[in-house]
Structure 1
Amino acid sequence: MDFSPSTQWNTKSDGHADTRHLTRATRFAYIGVTLFFFISLTWNLLVTPNSAAFISSLITLHLLVGGAFIGAIHHFRKKLLYEFRLRRSYETALHAEEEYLHQILDHVADGVAVFDVQGVPLYLNATAYHLFQSASPKPQLSIPEIKNKVFNAQGKRVLKNSELPQILALNGERVQGLELSLYDLDTNQRISLLANSQPLMGSDGHLEAVVVTYHDITASKRAESELRLAASAFEVPESMFITNHSGIIQHVNQEFSTMTGYKPDELVGSDSEILASEHHSNDFYVEMIKTLESAGRWEGELWCKRKDQKQQPLWAKITSIQTEKDKESYYLVSMVDLNTQYRKQNEMIARAYHDETTGLPNRTLLLDRLDQSLARSARSGVLGAVLSVEIDHFVNVNQTLGHLIADRLLKELAERLKRNVRRDDTLARSGDGQFTLILNEVASNQDIATQSAIAIAEKFKARISRPFHIFDHEVHVTSSIAISTFDGKNITTESVINQLDTTRKAAKEEGINSIRCFHPEMLSKVKRQLSIENDMRIALQRDQFSLFFQPKINVKNGQLSGAEALIRWKHPQQGYIDPSYFIPIAEENGLIEQLGEFVLREVCCRISIWQRSGLRVIPISINISAVQIRHDKFINSVNSILKETGVDPRYLEFEITESALEQNFVQIKRTIHSLKDQGIIISIDDFGTGYSNLSYLNEIVIDRLKIDQSFIYKLTEQKRKSPVAETIISLAHNFGMTTVGEGVETKAQFDFLRELGCDEAQGYFFCKPVSINIFSDLLKNPQVNRAS
């Protein structure tokens, strides 16, 4: 069925064809009647007597009856022709009425659709046809095509068949103002509609069809959206109002109402002069109007009078707007409270130059204040001083107690330190656990200035050392304080900061809770360290590092039981550099990871060579830095080298110092467990000199304890057994660990260790560290000859 407007509901019949059929039927009736009577007359004449009277009567009878039949047929034909003409006239009028009705419906702006009791469309007017059918011609519009194009009001979901307005109406529901949407296939735009439905009842009272009207509300929805957008744009966090050309206020936003103290209904309809301030003269307003009329906008400082009659400075922007509809001019006025703006600017400056946690000046403001202090000292000739206070192991507080407690600790620290600060001085937070104090014009004499700075440092130190009660925790911390004095002449801010950094490093080297003053010779040490650092990088590239091995001896049988790999650096100009000097530098600048990887790779390669040469392989121990083991990539490096060289992990022993366990114990514990799972031996080096909390022995599986050589030395110095060494050996054996005495230099020390039950020993008494070639020869003979 075609639902185009030009072919819908065409019920007109063909009247001319009916007339032609009637004429043809009448002609056949005439001929039939004539033949019937002629045959009857002929038959009766042949089978009956042929008297003249009888023949005359018979003929007369047939003529009368035949004429009557023909007359009846003629009468019936005339009546039928009349009925046909009457019906044709009625149908023509009905068709004309339908065409007229269709024309009217096709000119209706709303879509009109008629559906039968099955929900099948019977009629669509032109508007509905174009709503549901694309512009491309189609022979018909099927139900699925209609249904699949109908979405909910938001256009996000295709309506189910049961949700369509015609189906809802067929189910007895009242459909009034149902909002839905379509998509125009040509423009890909969403069309919003309001649907209403009305049932069509037959004469018998039964439902015969449903009429659904569709009202296009796309434009109104767009206008409504634009109005909401305009309203929301007007309600910005900026004071705004609109006046007409005469200055009568038409609209105000909430921000302006709040700023002035007036309610919106008190302003709308009032003259804008209600806001005029006596701060400006009449000439000011006259010039403003002239600028608006000539340029269409004005901007500048404008004072406004509030409802409480107080005057406040504003930065105003006035724009002239002319509407197209009524050609009337309006003025849009936007204002910013300069007091609020100044306050916000000051707050932003404060945030930019102050620490958020403590409220103290930050490093940026500190450097500016130090510049001022240097200039002040240069003018007056009076020395100033800078104190750098660093909380020892502050990172441990963060890791163990959390950032919340750490931040609270910093706040309380700042409050304590401020009590010893003069109004003229500056206390700032310069780092994560660092505070810096600038002392202006301390003394004219260098010694007095230094002593005064030290006195303040001692007060800081005392205040910091007192316990902090934070929530349910009692926190104890210590500090390392660096001091640098200056006279403001021939020195820069950067130089002072460098002096502090150098002095702070020296203070940390002395140990925790120390105070250190800057001396010029410190700079030469720093320069030497920088030189060593650069040379170290070159040495790694040019293979200037090598390995030496110090044997370990089984105390019971005197045989070679292991060795410790020691890195050596032969500098091209300076010769061999003591590892105790360059290793700390490598740990500080990050080169320790490359050095550690070099040692591990060299040891694994050497073990692989010994295995292929048929030599006896013994465990080789490697010193692992705390910097290495607390990084996840250390495990990856170990696994990669083991896989590359094919060495059995059982021949590797990693020595970790007790002090390393203090730094991120959780991470180190996880790393050690991973190493142990592979079969690598784990030893604690310098046991007894570092970490005092021995609970880690219950949490980490340790294979060996190395007794620090300071305890071995006391064996002969005190001429008696060392209770510490004896305790360490007993402790180790109780935990199922073996022990190694390091730094054995005399026979007496060795004998003492043997009496105490120590398992292994190493030191110059047996053998000094030797090169790879010499150690390879030692592997051929397990019995080590003791040094004389």
Structure 2
Amino acid sequence: MVLHLAQDVAWMLVLGVLQCLHLRLWTEHRRAGQWASGLLFGGVCILGMMDPFIDMPGVALDGRSVVLGIAGLFGGLLVAGIAALLAGGYSLWLGHADMLAGLVLVAACTTLGLLYRAAVARGWATLGALPLLAFGMLLQWIHLACLALLPEPIPAAQWTPMALSLLLIFTPATLLLGSVLQEGQRRDAIDLALRESEARFRSLLQDIPAVSVQAYAPDGTTRYWNKASEQLYGFSAEEALGRNLRDLIIPQEMREGVREAMEQMFRTRQAIPAGELLLLHKDGSRVPVFSSHAYVQARGRPAEMFCIDIDLSARVRAEAELRIAATAFESREGMLVTDPQQVILRANRAFTQSMGYTDAEAVGQTLALLQAGPDTATSFQLLQQALRSQGQWAGEIWSRRKNGEEFPQWVTINAVHDEAGGVSHYIATLVDITQRKAAEEQIRQLAFFDPLTHLPNRRLLMDRLQRALAASERNKRTGALLFVDLDHFKTLNDTQGHEKGDLLLQQVAQRLQTCVRDRDTVARLGGDEFLVVLEDLDAAAAHAAAHVKSVSEKIVAQLHQLYRLGNLDYNSTASVGIAMYSGQGTPAEELLKQADMAMYQAKAEGRDGLRFFDPAMQAVVNARAALEADLRQGLALGQFLLYYQPQVDAQGRVTGAEALLRWPHPTRGMVPPVHFIPLAEETGHILPLGRWVLQTACAQLVAWAQDPVLGRLVLAVNVSARQFRDPDFASGVLALLHSSGANPRRLKLELTESMLADNLDDMVEKMAALGAHGIRFALDDFGTGYSSLSYLKRLPLDELKIDQSFVRDVLVDPSDAAIVRTVVGLAHNLGLEVLAEGVETEAQKDFLARCHCHVYQGYLFSRPVPVAAFEAFVLGSAQPASVDEVKAA
């Protein structure tokens, strides 16, 4: 028995050696190698089964248990499957009485090997000596168990020697075969790593930029020529390989010396000393390089000379530029030379005379000597940024002479680079432009400004209005032109004289400027007529008109205040005509006529007021005022409701809901949120409205807490920027949770990206205070606003919501698909949950799932519905998932 089993062990050792050898043959064809391994393992099983030990009829012992177990452990599913099919097929073909036991043995040992392999892959087990011995012993116990399936029972006297033989021979044989294959795999991995390392080195050598590498035979024949050599010398690799070095890039006068140096190098194996050379380019020009050489002889290959050349052209040019700069240094313009840290090394005479410093006082200072003071620090920072990023800067800067006098200079600064590409010096040229600036300003004032009020005149106004119309076309936002005319101004001039009239016009100009933003334009058209251009207003016409109405009312109120005109107290009023614009549909001149007509309409209606040119716009303003009154009444009468839109996971389980505000007006019907939410924000009604939403949401959480299904849901509530800026917001939310008894862990507050532009530190502090009590935070509409990784890093967020604008076209727009993948990857990398809004189709959901986004919200599952319909939806669907389950998914 022992000899037969030892013979099987010998076959196993042969198997191990053959497996190690043939794996190396299939390095480039892994799949084919697996097929070959399966056939090899299966063939050894068949050899053992062809000559088994037979001690009694129907009992055959061989090493297939070890071979198949090792096949599963070291070969994997394909190898083990092929070997098992061969062993099982041969057992069926034999058709002996032990066929059933043999098939069970094949399946069990193969499965055990695959399970052990999976455990090792997951880190649950190792391939040490003791684990392999235990594995081998378990295989033989399976072997013994399979013998119990034989149709004829084995006599008790045969069991002990049979079991001992299997356990004592095949158990260490398992360890031996496993160790051989493990060592073979280790060597195979080392060989693979060496080949990959060599390939990476060759790729690096071939693609390394700015370093030319060539290899030459002792006779000068070119054997290697990388991409940098192609760029440096102009010869492609196909043109260079096989040609002699001396005929390729060595100038005629150097060829004999190069030949002698190479002969000495190959004879003594000592490298040619490195140095600067002028070599030939393909076009016949000379290329300055720093050339290093190395003698290389790999085992089994002839010796070669490797040359490593670095292009010195940039350094040569820089040196030439410095020489030219030195020649021009003593020009009539001020000039400075600094070191890389911008410390002044030299200053010419024109500079010292202009600034008032001696040469000794200037040397050792930095370029900061050029700034006039703290007021110019921003301009100097921009100068520094340009030098760091571009190596040059040119522009106007205000400087201060030694005597304290400030004056404008035109400064040009250029970096000088050394041979390594680093900055070696800066050269600055300075020109005093005081007289030029004064002349330009005088011309500008005369051409574009009203001499009495110093406001832009008609010419400048029309230019700015044209620009405003073009900007409106680009950014799709609206604007307005206001025509302001003083009431009864002629009476003041006729009764009090033009001097008092001029004083009034000057004070009107000052008051108008206080009523508008810095980017808006106030101009004097002539006489008592003024124009105001309001730019970059809201894209929505109603909101823009409301803002214009507010500004116009402010202007009317300001111009109605008492004026002090010398010794005269005077009351005046004004009439304002308003013409709205959006894009360039209306020419500037036509817009001016419309505002003028609206102004006369305001005068016709009694003066001291305002009027829109467009009757429809006036109707919009009136409608907005009516909606604001209804909003105020709706709050007082409790007309608002909360609807709920489910949020579901990949299995369709409801994880929570988003609370959405709805306004069923008694006469208007259901008012869309897009109509009243922005109005509530602008008027301040969002604060009481937001408090009501939070109160209602907390009350709903308390009601759901009584139900084992609904009590597990998380309710998301949107918070406006104005709410969050309230200093008492965090304490108010906590007080509300405490008084209502709602579970803070079931409340999620959704913030928008527009809020991130506000005080970030204040946001983080409030979120941390609320998060400490279990409240969770989601960033809504991610990717549509002020997205910034620095914000995400600092904010204690729990979830990112992908905006529906990206989800809508995710299947047809590659950009939207890329954005969704990026947002999901970013969320996962930051440890955040991610939810997609606006999911309307199964195809969208499947795409999101492939991107590893597993929580959704949209019409595919449900529209926002009242609370009763939402509860019916939840209770009628599958058991809702908990927050922890969603995180685990």
TM-score (norm 1): 0.38
The higher radius of gyration belongs to 1
Determine which structure has the larger helix proportion and give its number: 2
TM-score (norm 2): 0.34
